Structure 1
């Protein structure tokens, strides 16, 4: 089995400070977008037209999550995990928050997906929520 994927570049603070407390975006310069979801993150959809990769070979997997708050849709990137029986899921057993880093899609297909899900234009940078709060 394989998953369609896209590569996202990580943007960090110029000062080098790490507010993600060792999150995924601190460990990798590029993240691999494996799917998208709305709401709870329980059902993850494939990203259309991505490069097919075997799940066990995907490094730094993340999911694009779109939620609604204060009558406006917002996009964020969350760490993902592979489960052979359920597929890709957002790591929902943990409270994640923004750690100060951003992901930038290098592909227009990802930007179009984000704009379609948000139902408005988007500048391209998406907040990475990989700061773990236990």
Structure 2
């Protein structure tokens, strides 16, 4: 069995709000595991494969109670920003990737007190970031 490393995140929800994720992972779990990072340029590049969290930054992932998510760093005319989206492991190719091509914010956020998360954010955004990230786990149904 392959080992995966990640950073444990805690889901933040509105106390008096109904689920707006339409059954997204953040509506069902209190913890998530940040498993990898992908960079996208809005309108130009749409990648889904994640670069795994390196062992020094992550701990051995326990995915049974904290499903995997990827950090998507986007660049557009406003600059760089980041969101989280559900991820899955492709056994055949041996890579983590974002689960769905199109997802949107469902109203929930994730954060952690782990300083390695802040280090990772600085490394990928290029500026200090110490807040919660929007979880993009809402999939519109047709």
Question: TM-score, structure 1 length as denominator?
Answer: 0.88
Q: Does 1:12 align with 2:13?
A: yes
For this pair of structures, how many residues does the alignment match?
132
Partner residue, 1:91? 99
Match of 2:113 in 1: 106
Q: 1:44 to 1:58 in 2, by over 3 A?
A: farther
Q: What is the match of residue 64 of structure 1?
A: 71
Greater fraction of residues in strand: 1
CA, structure 1 residues 25+54, in 2 after alignment: closer, same or farther (shift >3 Å)? closer
Q: Does the 8 Å CA contact 1:35/1:47 hold for their aligned counterparts? A: yes
**Residue deviations 1:68-110 (CA, integer Å, cap 9, x gap):** 12231010000001111222110134x2000110000231111
Q: Provide the alpha-carbon RMSD of the alignment.
A: 1.8
Measure the CA separation in 1 of the matches of 2:90 and 2:136.
21
Alignment of 1:1-134 (within 5 A): 1-39=2-40, 40-48=46-54, 49=56, 50-53=58-61, 57=64, 59-86=66-93, 87-93=95-101, 95-134=102-141
Give the unaligned 5+ runs of structure 2. Answer: 41-45
Counterpart CA distance in 1 for 2:128 and 2:9 is: 19
Q: Displaced runs of 4+ in structure 1, greater than 6 A?
A: none
Matched-pair contact (CA < 8 Å) for 2:31–2:65: no
- Please list every run of 5 or more consecutive structure 1 residues that lacks an aligned counterpart in the other structure: none
Q: Distance in 2 between matches of 1:109 and 1:38?
A: 19
